[in-house]
Amino acid sequence: MENNHLDSIVLGGGCFWCVEAVYQQVEGIHEIVSGYAGDTEETANYDAVCSGRTKHAEVVKVSYDPSTISLEEVFEIFWATHNPTTPNQQGNDRGPQYRSIIFYKNEEEKRIAEKSKSNVAPKIWDDPIVTEIDPLEAFFPAETHHQNYYSNVGDRNPYCTYVITPKVQKVRKAFADKLKNTSSS
């Protein structure tokens, strides 16, 4: 079934594998593409970005159906499933490529993001929120082997076991009412 009423937002909350795995659980999310934003196409590749020498962040482009899940709800999950209080770091992942960031396409998305950062995130986190909110100039999809990483690799990779699986479990518990019905799959 094709849905012509999808919207999208680009989010960075550390390693894109983590953010992708979290949103793949959520009803109303139709596609998640791991990628890079914040710098040029010439340097939009895993090796360059992971070096920390580019201005890119590892991000995901989350395509969602606003009639099923609102942008505000997308942001609620974002704040709850990564640490937006640590500049350039998520757990052991360190560097500017792992910063907490929201890339908006228009003034309405910017307004909703800023409101959520001011009103929702501080209810979850005691420390100041350092998440950047910047205009999206370009999104560059990551290499094919980085797409659907957790779904494809799962706990065969220790990083997935110790970093991603707890985030997925957290979203399943905290947002049980927003999960996809997977009983038929």
Q: Could you say which DSSP state residue 37 is in?
A: E
Angle between helices 71-81 and 16-23 (to 10 degrees): 130
Closest CA relative to residue 65, chosen from 100, 26, 12, 122: 26
Q: What are phi and psi of 95, to 5 degrees?
A: 135, 160
Contact 81, 14 (CB under 8 A): no
Q: Which amino acid is at 160?
A: C
Active site residues: 15
> Distance between the two ends of the chain, CA-based, in angstroms?
17
Q: Which amino acid is at 88?
A: N
Cα torsion 48, 99, 95, 158: sign: negative
